[in-house]
Structure 1
Amino acid sequence: MSVTGRPTIDEPRLTTRRVRRRRVPRHVVAALPLALAGLISLLVSGNTLRPFEQITTLEAKMASKSDFFKDPEVQRLLLRHGIRVDIHRLGSRGIATQSLKDMDVVFPSGQPAAKLVLDRQDRSVRSARPFVTPLVLGTFRSYAETLVRAGVATPQGAAGGDTLYYDLDMRRFMGLLDGRDGGRSTADQDGDGKTEGADTWNGIGFDTAGGRSNSGRVLVRTSSVCESNSAGTYLSLLAFVANRNSTPGTQNVNDARLAQDAVTDLAARIKPLISLQGMWADEQADSYLSDLGESIAPLSVIYEHQYLAHQIAHHDRHGRQDTDRVLLYPTPYTLTEPQLISLTDRGDRLVRILEEDDALRERALELGFRVRDSDAEEDTGERLDAYLRDHGIQVPVPNTDRTKAYEPDLDVLERIIDYVGSCPPPAKDTP
């Protein structure tokens, strides 16, 4: 009661409602560090806006050098430029002779096929020759050592272990293929093309060491000369040697009939040396480098970069070289020059990127290619050698005999290829 005697009324109290805060779900909290790490990665790589950029897909026909564009690191580097390449795999000569409709770029593995493509174009094209690679024969150590004992191969020197590389005397080696004196007497040997007396592996001593036997003929497995640059280049090498280290088609140039007869005669002599194996359609590197490679063929025509890429990957996985697989470097030697050719404006952009992107050229080196760089003071071979040494791979040594087998003029080469391969006529582009 108040002093006045009136009852005291308490002021009303306000009651506040307690609101519970919703907790962030635990799975969201757990994912936050991953999301933050992803954002940081995008910021560092410069790809923050990549999901919002338009990716241009280029259609391309490529031969063995499609290995470069199928490499995950190369694909990542191209995505930085907003480009993806959809590859249609085909042999180099197949690229040059079949339809190119809807293609943005083509990448034949050598100059003959590239020239066929360029001759078909009615627009000014952009092209690049980013690297070179020698043609080689892939084999296995027991077969290489048999060729050494037969007097047709010589091991390259190796410090602290077995060599991976051998020099192959092509004139003597062709004697094993055609059966003339087993390749041991070469003073008057010109390769007659006869195969009835062709040597067998046991016949040249394969069964004299290691308790193994192979009574099959000494043959080289190639891809089809009608489709493949490697087979066509190997055919050119055989023709050069059979023509006494002279480019076919350079004789009798003033008499067209004699010149054509000489080319036909040469093609007839070398056809058995390459056609007995059957000339498979696909490139041979995958078969040679597979687990069953030795069972498939003792000798295969491949490119140096394919072998070196295998050795680099093998060393990365196992910490050592693959010492069972070895290379034969033919003498005379031959280089192949892959050429990326643009057929559209979109293709022009890819050619320019390949010419200008240092990271792409460095990746080519890591894949075993001898990279061409006109701005570099260093020789391309020296750059590759240094990379191989740094990664524990033996470095091949150039033969002191630097005779190079030059390919004949395109029309001469085409006549030899058509004769040896009985190739179908080229397809025409449909309008």
Structure 2
Amino acid sequence: MGQTARVSVFVWIAAVSLAAWLWLLLCQGFFWRTDVRLPPRSEPEAWPSVCVVVPARDEAAVLPASLPSLLAQDYPGRAEVFLVDDGSRDGTGALARELARHHGGLPLTVDSPGEPPAGWTGKLWAVRHGIALARVREPDYLLLTDADIAHAPGSLRELVAAARTGGFDVVSLMARLRVESVWERLVVPAFVYFFAQLYPFRRIGRRGSRTTAAAGGCVLLSAETAERARIPDAIRHAVIDDVALARAVQGAGGRVWLGLADRVDSVRPYPGLPDLWRMVSRSAYAQLRHNPLVLAGTVLGLALVYLAPPLALLAGVAVGSGVTAVLGGLAWLVMTGTYIPMLRYYRQPLWLAPLLPFTAFLYLLMTVDSAVQHYRGRGAAWKGRTYARPDTVTEES
């Protein structure tokens, strides 16, 4: 009787997991497809002016591979770059000036805003300073891009043409992250896959859709919309600032488009698991709004959706339940199939696809660790700064 009850439980878990995967496959905005790239575009008769704002804190290691690509942009209109040195201790500002002298190209201004006041994250304080410098030039667009992002020569031109043609207030590209080490191969494509599952790109560009997000590494933003949406003041304490920016723009009546990049790449290395662990865990609990109940639901959901299929298959074989094994195997097969397009986008071997449950288990542990670090007072820490929960920050008048 006890054996039968256990088999019945396994069958139900496997069935629910398979049902979840069928729903994700067909009803979650086809999140698994990777063909959402820059929309159709035509070149405007008169090219609008653009100011590029680059917040940078201790970025000397990656700047030689990224900043020259911005300075070398082939853009027909007026454009210039503002690099905001956010209290770097590695000579980031001096290196930026030297790179500009050596490479030439677009005009570069390097400035520093000083330490952020209470209630501001360092990056957004730097972005605020950069936007203030840029507004003196009265640009039509702002390109907010991270210091580790390298752009192909025509990147800015394509972003502006897409925004103008489609009538978008934000055009954002999910930069192609570096995938070279073993751990990067296991973790990085899954990071983008999970992001797309939460924020299906197809829904973001659709009129009337409530789903919105942006990718902070590359955000072209209408300067008029930025002022109307009070960017970045309205999101000054946001740790996940790209999603917060998109929501603020949408709340102000703006249109947002997000897709995968072909010609925008991150040059930042994450060679080992500890590096990737810090990248994910620093903001994972913030994504869950620091809510223990949401954390518990997320852990349960990850276990049911990603861990249950292979475990059900093994359990079914072990206890001789063909139904359990078949249901678990089918769920695992659907999961594997939805991951293959992302691996192809990252030019990775397809044998990594069946390992997604293992990667999901790592993300589960990273999420739990993010919550643990938060309650120890070390949550949302990045480059020497630790940020409080938004609801603990005193609002300024």
TM-score between both structures, scaled by the size of structure 2? 0.27
Flag the structure with larger Rg.
Answer: 1
TM-score between both structures, scaled by the size of structure 1? 0.26
